[in-house]
Chain A
Amino acid sequence: AQSVSQHNHHVILSEAASLELGCNYSYGGTVNLFWYVQYPGQHLQLLLKYFSGDPLVKGIKGFEAEFIKSKFSFNLRKPSVQWSDTAEYFCAVSGGSTLGRLYFGRGTQLTVWP
Chain B
Amino acid sequence: DTGVSQDPRHKITKRGQNVTFRCDPISEHNRLYWYRQTLGQGPEFLTYFQNEAQLEKSRLLSDRFSAERPKGSFSTLEIQRTEQGDSAMYLCASSPETGISQVFFGSGTQLSVL
Contact = CB atoms under 8 A, between A and B. Distances in A.
A3 B104 CA distance: 21
Interface stretch (A63-71, A75-83, A104-112): A104-112
Nearest to A104: B42
B45 A102 contact: yes
A46 B43 contact: no
Nearest to B93: A100
> Contact residue range for chain B?
20 to 34
Contacts of B8: none
A99 B95 contact: yes
A101 B33 contact: yes
A4 B42 CA distance: 10
Contacts of A30: none
A84 B95 CA distance: 28
A49 B106 CA distance: 19
Contacts of B106: 43
A101 B42 contact: no
Interface residues of A, number: 22
B103 A100 contact: yes
A92 interface: yes
A106 B42 contact: yes
B101 interface: yes
Given A100-B31, A100-B95, A92 B42 contact: yes
Best-surrounded residue of A34, A44, A46, A92 (most CB of chain B within 10 A): A44
Given A44-B105, A99-B103, 12 more contacts: A4-B42, A6-B42, A43-B107, A45-B105, A100-B95, A101-B56, A102-B45, A102-B103, A104-B44, A105-B42, A107-B40, A107-B42
Identify the 5 closest CB pairs spanning chains A and B, nearest first: A104-B42, A44-B105, A100-B103, A43-B107, A100-B95
Interface of A: 4, 6, 34, 36, 42-46, 49, 90, 92, 98-107
Interface of B: 3-4, 31, 33, 35, 40-45, 48, 55-56, 91, 93-95, 100-103, 105-108
